[in-house]
Every structure is written in structure tokens, then in C-alpha cells.
Amino acid sequence: MTTSIDQAWNLAKARYAEFDVDVESALKLLDTLPVSMHCWQGDDVAGFENTGGALTGGIQATGNYPGKARNAAELRSDLEQALALIPGPKRLNLHAIYLESDTAVERNEIEPKHFANWVEWARQKGMGLDFNPSCFSHPLSADGFTLSHANPEIRKFWIEHCQASRRISAYFGRELGTASVMNIWVPDGMKDLTVDRFAFRERLMTALDEVISEKIDEKYHLDAVESKLFGIGAESFTVGSNEFYLGYATTRKTALCLDAGHFHPTEVISDKISTAMLYVQHLLLHVSRPVRWDSDHVVLLDDETQAIAHEIIRNRLFDRVHIGLDFFDASINRIAAWVIGTRNMKKALLRALLEPTDMLRKLEADGDYTARLAMLEEQKSLPWQAVWETYCQRHNVPAGSEWLQTVRQYEQSVLSKR
């Protein structure tokens, strides 16, 4: 029996064929583009060290929606609910604070064994894992400095933490057969006027060099470094600026991480991708939604998310750009936040794959900017939604908003009892 989704799909295929777009090829390519979901949406960046300490480093998770995960088992259960509602390939991005241990473990002493349960879980799900050292929410980061700290003992602690994290990341890659991207972000900065900026940045550069000094096969592990314009408590000076990390990634051959919320409100990372790709081999994206600052709102299918996807697809950066998400909203159902944000990123990728890019490139090359603008706008109305619904159907996930009912049922039966 032909359903309404089938009928819409057949019409969409014919409509896109008029623009020489093969929708089947688009769906096959979409199935090769994983999105790395971030574990910290599930528990408001609390982690499992169980120290009871406050969230620091300029990070804020606002809201108090009931049902957040309190341990790794609950977090994995919540993730499974979200994963079942999102079509296509996914990865999971872990922070070091999500270790599992019966006893307290200092961050510079974390080992692969503390993440063995995550690896086994990911293996069962057929997913890769990514990783991050956690250089925040710790007594030795309380004064706002880690890898650039003036105290050599404190600096050594954070260097050792990042080195241990690299070994864990490589363990992920070896065990799961897909390279783990490990991103280094530090909150280091000053609230007010800073005199010796050079000294801080020189210490950070030297510390990072020590962190990545052990050579690890890129089949298993990729280093990435992430900049930020400012943070709460670091409004006047951030050691790891965009210029610092672009220079570092270029000269040290690491990946560069661009976070959508880590720039001035009038800047967008979609415009930075083509520039960075001229100088670095790999780019890590943290797709987020800043509202007036790095607020990490849930990703929407908005102009910037779409522009990010267009830059990846138009330039065929499939093997060079690694797509991750970074948002945490504690004011709504956390599983719904994962589902909304991840589905929106995948919708943006699909719409980019369905764009008649060859035709648009020719118009641009011919100098016909009138037709270029006209067609860019007209193609937005092509029936991409019908293609998305078929993609969801093929992956046995809800095509439309009916996924919300599944989340509500889980909230009533599980989350509400926490």
C-alpha cells in the first residue's frame, strides 16, 4: 500500500530531478556523515566525579528541569532514548569528568579502564567516541588558569591531565576502529586589564607542545584545539584566542575547533570554514546557538546552521570536517534537546546535499548574480521535507513530531521518578 510519505517521496524525486539533483545519492552520502552528540546535555555538565563542586570556567547551565542523569547508567539509558529518535550515523562526545570509578581519581591519573563501560556500550551501538580533557570545575582551575598557569606545578597537573586524556582518546580509536577527535579547550583568562599577555600565551604554547609531544597514529586519535572570545570571569583577556589557535593548529598540524558561540555575536563560523581549510587538514565544529553570548542554546534549523552545512557540502569536506554539537539546556527535557538539535543538524546537511550546487556555481562563474540569488531563494521551497521523511522511515525513526510522544512516555515512566 502506498502511503502519503511514499507519494511525497516520488513527487520530490521527480521535482529534484528537474534540477539534476539525485536524491538517492544525497541520502547515501548523508549516511556517511556522522554527527557527534555531546554527553553533557544529559546532566548539565555535572559529570561523575561526585565532588559536589560548582560548575566553573565560565560555563553555565540554566534551568532545573526534572530528571537529569545522576550516573553513567542513567545517562546511557537517556542517550539510548535519544539515539532511537535520530536517523543516520551518530557518535558520542565524552568529557573526562564522565569517568566511572568506585574510588576518587585525580584528573591527571585517569586511565582507559575508567571508560571501559563507555567503549563497550559504544561498540554495541556501532558508534565511535570522541573525547575532551576537562580543564574546569576543579580546585586547581579555581583562579581561572590551567595550561597557562604561572605556577609550574599547577601547569604540570593540567599537562598531565591532557596527556592522560590523549591516551584515553587513542584507546577509543583502537577499540572502536574509528579515530577519536580529542578537543582541548581551557578557560584561561582575566576578568580585567592584563599587562603581560605574551607570557600567558607563551606558557600555553609550551604546555600544549608538551601535551602533544607523544606521537599517536591518526588512525586512532586526532588532536584539536579550541578558541574563545571571552567567558564569564574572563571578559577582558582570553589566553587561547582565535589567532592563537589558528596559528597553533597551522604550525603543529592539529585540527582546529570552531565553536559557533565562541566569537563576537556578529561573527559566524560558517564564514571561517573555507579560510581555515586552506591552512589546516582537519576542522572540528561545535555547532551551537549563542543568544547574545555563548549561551549554548539548542541548535535550530536556522540560517547559520544551514550555512555551516552548506560550507561542508559545497566544498566536499566530508573527510576533513568533524561535526560535533555543543549545547546544554536545563530548562527543557534533556532528551528532547538532544533530539531537536541533532535532527536539525542532520536536516541542514540533507538540505545542503539537495542543493543544485553545480547550477549555482555556473551562474556565479558566469557573473549572473541575479539568477544566482533568485535560484538560491527558489530552491529553498523544493520538497526537502519529503526526502527527510523517507530518510527517517528508512532508519525506523519517527518522521515528524511524533517522536515527542516517545520522549513524554519515557519522562513519565523513568525521568519523573529520579
Q: How many CB atoms lie within 10 A of CB 33?
A: 20
Q: Out of 38, 286, 322, 347, pick the active-site residue.
A: 286
DSSP 280: -
138 is in an annotated binding site: no
Q: Is 57 exposed, middle or buried (0-12, 13-18, 19+ CB in 10 A)?
A: buried
**Backbone CA torsion sign across 135, 141, 142, 148:** negative
Q: Out of 9, 185, 384, 403, pick the active-site residue.
A: 185
| Pairwise CA distance, residues 337 & 329, whole Å | 7
DSSP 74: H
Q: Out of 44, 78, 223, 294, pick the active-site residue.
A: 294
Is 185 annotated in the active site? yes
43 is in an annotated binding site: no
Q: Out of 38, 95, 161, 228, pick the active-site residue.
A: 228
Q: Is 44 left (phi over 0), alpha (psi -120 to 50) or beta?
A: left
CA neighbor of 258 nearest in space, from 319, 308, 188, 318: 308
Q: Out of 175, 326, 355, 389, pick the active-site residue.
A: 326
Q: List, in sequence order, every beta strand (DSSP E) within 104-260.
A: 128-132, 180-184, 189-190, 221-226, 237-238, 255-259
Q: Are 129 and 177 in contact (CB under 8 A)?
A: no
Is 223 annotated in the active site? no
296 is in an annotated binding site: yes
Q: Out of 130, 223, 296, 311, pick the active-site residue.
A: 296
Is 121 annotated in the active site? no
* b/e per residue 121-152 (b: at least 16 CB within 10 A): bbeeeebbbbbbbbbbbbebbeebbbbbbeee
Q: Out of 78, 130, 188, 226, pick the active-site residue.
A: 226
Is 259 annotated in the active site? yes
Q: Out of 90, 262, 322, 346, pick the active-site residue.
A: 262
Is 262 annotated in the active site? yes
DSSP 402: T
* b/e per residue 363-390 (b: at least 16 CB within 10 A): beeeeeeebbeebeeebeebbbebbbbb
Query: Which residues form the catalytic set?
Result: 185, 226, 228, 259, 262, 286, 294, 296, 326
Which residue numbers belong to the known binding site for Mn(2+)? 262, 294, 296
Which residue numbers belong to the known binding site? 262, 294, 296
